[in-house]
Amino acid sequence: MTDVKTPESQTLDSPTAATGFAGWFRRILSTNPSALPTIAAVLIFVAMVIYGEVTYGRILQFNTMSNLLINNAHLIVLAVAMTFVILTGGIDLSVGAIIAFSSVAGVMLSSAGWNPYLVIVLMVAFGAVFGLISGILIQYFNVQPFIATLAMMFLARGLASLLSTVPERLSDESPIRWLGTQLKVIDGEKVNDLVVTPGVVIAAIVVIVAFVVLHRTRTGRTVYAIGGSESSTQLMGLPVPRTKVLVYVISGTLSGVAAVIYTSRLGIAQNITGIGWELDAIAATVIGGTLLTGGYGYVLGSVIGALVLGLMNVLITRDGGIRPEMTTIITGGILLVFVLLQRVVSRKRE
């Protein structure tokens, strides 16, 4: 009641009210131009959903949306991991290879009769170890992030190849597979059910925890501060070395989590799993509005970015006319467009 009579408070507190969308949009941009790419990502996602619904149909329904989440749960986790790293101004090229190593090692250990719960813990731990090595190289030995993580990428993929070069199959009765089973949440009419897997739930938990850590804790603020200016952050007395190592450990650990989610869904691991996923993760993060130079970005934006990429794959499959080989080119193209957009936005701010 009172809100209606005070227009000032409306414009400040309830953006979608009286002044309308355009006014809200303009104000967001003037106070924080770095939000533009995130807004663009949301708009693109909505546009893709509408385009897909109009052109191919059966997009805006529980079934498709559930599958989108189930098939991209691992990518969402990777995008969240990459957000941490990119926010500090770094990069992690090793995520795809870590997944390959962690999956192959995990499935082989599981097949060898190890306790499945221990195997899951180990899969996550393998990722953490790779992340820790990258972090130490970068922080304490001044290796450029992309060189250190490129080396980890080749190390992890080489070790995965050393373990096995053929598809390793997870046995059907392995409890790890339970993480990939589809649980019906809403029993819709015909095939239109809302389905989730424990993997999707894990991804959701990762997103929530990451959101809280980045936007509500001291560690999160330090991550943003390092991306803004590392030396200033150091001068402020914030724990820069610890935090910088931590983001790579987080990235590696979440890669391990993504490996668990992906392996449980497919039941197969191979040394060539995850080639090019680092580009997908970087693209998801960048599309979601995280600045590659660090300092600006949102976890939820990265989730949207991951969904944009996932939906793009759905649309390409539905279309049928676009060859699957084009996928990496299109992903690269989209990434490039968003990096260029960032250039424009950050130039304007300067």
Partner 1 sequence: MNTQTTGGMTWLTDLVRRPFFWGIVAIFALLALNVVKDPSYLAVSLNPANGHLVGNMVDIIRASAPIIMIAIGMALVIATGGIDLSVGSIMAVSGAVSMEFLKSASDTGSGGAMLAAVGLALIVSAVLGAVNGVLVAYVGLQPFISTLVMMLAGRGLAKVITGGQNTAASNDPFEWIANGFLIGLPVVFLLAILIVVIVGLVVRRSALGLMIEATGINPKASRMAGIKPKGLLLTVYIVSGLLAGVAGIMSVGTVMTVDVSRTGYQMELDAILAVVIGGTSLAGGKFSLGGAVVGALLIATLDKTILFLGISSSATPAFKAIVIVVLCLLQSERVRSWFVRRRRPRTPEPIQSSSSTESTKQEVPA
CA 131 to chain CA mean position, Å: 16
- 189 near partner 1 (CB under 8 A): no
Please select the residue that binds partner 1; options are 161, 219, 229, 234, rule is CB under 8 A: 161
- Minimum separation from the CB atom of position 91 to partner 1 (A): 7
- 20 near partner 1 (CB under 8 A): no
110 vs 134 by CB, closer to partner 1 = 134
Please select the residue that binds partner 1; options are 6, 144, 171, 317, rule is CB under 8 A: 144
Please select the residue that binds partner 1; options are 112, 141, 172, 173, rule is CB under 8 A: 141
Cβ atoms of 36 and 286 closer than 8 Å: no
Closest by Cα among 86, 115, 118, 84 to 253: 84
CB crowding 141-169: b at 16 or more within 10 Å, else e? eebebeebbbbbbebbbebbeebeeeebe
- 152 near partner 1 (CB under 8 A): yes
Closest by Cα among 108, 104, 118, 138 to 251: 138
Positions in 70-109 near partner 1 (CB under 8 A): 91, 93
Q: How far apart are CA 18 and CA 12, in angstroms?
A: 11
Please select the residue that binds partner 1; options are 44, 75, 137, 206, rule is CB under 8 A: 137
Please select the residue that binds partner 1; options are 29, 108, 129, 159, rule is CB under 8 A: 159
Continuous segment of H or E residues that includes residue 186? strand 183-186
Q: For Cα atoms 301, 303, 308, give the angle at the middle one, nearest 5 degrees.
A: 95
- Minimum separation from the CB atom of position 316 to partner 1 (A): 12
Positions in 315-344 near partner 1 (CB under 8 A): 323-329, 331-333, 335-336, 339-340, 343
76 vs 133 by CB, closer to partner 1 = 133
Closest by Cα among 126, 79, 114 to 304: 79
- 140 near partner 1 (CB under 8 A): yes
Window of 16-24, 148-156, 214-222, 227-235 that interacts with partner 1 by CB under 8 A: 148-156
Residue 253 tokens, joined: 């650990």
Residue type, 56: Y
- Minimum separation from the CB atom of position 307 to partner 1 (A): 20
Cβ atoms of 169 and 268 closer than 8 Å: yes
- 162 near partner 1 (CB under 8 A): yes
260 vs 281 by CB, closer to partner 1 = 281
Number of residues that bind partner 1 (CB under 8 A): 44
Please select the residue that binds partner 1; options are 271, 285, 302, 313, rule is CB under 8 A: 271
Please select the residue that binds partner 1; options are 148, 202, 245, 311, rule is CB under 8 A: 148
In three-state secondary structure terms, 168 is strand
121 vs 151 by CB, closer to partner 1 = 151
CA 137 to chain CA mean position, Å: 23
Closest by Cα among 48, 55, 44 to 319: 55
- Minimum separation from the CB atom of position 147 to partner 1 (A): 6
217 vs 293 by CB, closer to partner 1 = 293
| DSSP string for residues in 61-130 | SHHHHHHHHHHHHHHHHHHHHHHHHHHTT-----HHHHHHHHHHHHHHHHHTT--HHHHHHHHHHHHHHH
Whole-angstrom Cα Rg for the chain = 21
208 vs 340 by CB, closer to partner 1 = 340
Window of 20-28, 45-53, 54-62, 146-154 that interacts with partner 1 by CB under 8 A: 146-154
The contact set with partner 1 (CB under 8 A) reads: 91, 93, 137, 140-144, 146-148, 150-155, 157-159, 161-162, 165, 271, 276, 279, 282, 292-293, 323-329, 331-333, 335-336, 339-340, 343
